[in-house]
Amino acid sequence: MNEAQEILRLDRVRKSFGNVHALRNASMVVREGEVVALLGDNGAGKSTLIKAISGVHPFDGGEIRVRGEKAEIRTARDAMDLGIETIHQDTSLAPDLSIARNLFLGREPVKMPWLGVFAPLDFGALNQAATTLLKRVGISKKLDADVLVNTLSGGERQSIAISRAMQFAAKLIILDEPTNNLGVEETHGVLRFVRDVKAAGHSVLFITHNIHHVFQVADRLVVMRRGEVVAERAVADTDLLSVEALIMGVDVADLAQDGGAH
């Protein structure tokens, strides 16, 4: 695993909101083809970290390297151009548009592209490309490209949002609590999809509060506490109780006496 190429390296990144130090010298790595879970209690800095990587609000200091090269991420466009796609909790899909439109939102194929923003959409090409993509990501049996997103379940919406990221050849797909508010079956569908995304050669960084999911899909976990990365572990080298102890910042023996949180 260590020989795999680094997709993302954060070195002592910092971010403050007024006098709240949301991130203090946080460092971590995501490597090619791995699924990394980002863990930490409420307010640990997880969302701030991924918002900065995705260009929502840039870091105040520290260094970002993407595939070994020093990078500047000031806007969402910068992140996308570096091959980083983030799916925020509200999945940022347009509910009144079709699956096909959503898969290409803002990047739809057009007729007469020289007309710029006035160029009409090429619906034939759009639906064909969308159908091909849905087949490729393995969800074409259930979903038609021209179905409206507002008729889909939460899990299906997540799948469409992740498919969109795959479509644009993102090297790194970041998911902010992808199974939040989903039912049991839907949650399993999304976790299975994360595995498929990895099998297709993408790296995934996902925030979760559910440690069981970490053991189901992640290769590695990164634990944050009070704005710092306090631990990185291979999932195969750890267990549920140890991870809970890392998140809470307590001794695993003390936690074992309480029987753990789960």
Binding site for ligand ATP (CB under 6 A): 17, 20, 22, 40, 42-48
Helix runs in 37-95, H state only? 46-53, 76-81
- The token pair that represents 92 in the structure block: 């940022």
Smallest gap from residue 207 Cβ to ligand ATP (A)? 7
Q: In what order do the strands lie in the sheet with 69-71?
A: 20-31, 6-17, 61-66, 69-71
Smallest gap from residue 226 Cβ to ligand ATP (A)? 9
Smallest gap from residue 168 Cβ to ligand ATP (A)? 25
Considering beta carbons, is residue 8 or 44 the nearer one to ligand ATP? 44
Smallest gap from residue 237 Cβ to ligand ATP (A)? 24
Considering beta carbons, is residue 26 or 30 the nearer one to ligand ATP? 26
Give the Cα separation of 126 and 146 in Å (integer). Answer: 10
Smallest gap from residue 163 Cβ to ligand ATP (A)? 25
The answer to whether residues 83 and 65 touch, using CB atoms and an 8 Å cutoff, is: no
Give the Cα separation of 233 and 242 in Å (integer). Answer: 10
Smallest gap from residue 71 Cβ to ligand ATP (A)? 21
Considering beta carbons, is residue 149 or 224 the nearer one to ligand ATP? 224
Strands 61-66 and 69-71: antiparallel
Considering beta carbons, is residue 48 or 167 the nearer one to ligand ATP? 48
Considering beta carbons, is residue 48 or 86 the nearer one to ligand ATP? 48
Helix runs in the chain, H state only? 46-53, 76-81, 99-103, 123-136, 154-167, 184-199, 211-217, 240-248, 252-258
Give the Cα separation of 188 and 190 in Å (integer). Answer: 5
The answer to whether residues 42 and 55 touch, using CB atoms and an 8 Å cutoff, is: no
Considering beta carbons, is residue 164 or 213 the nearer one to ligand ATP? 213
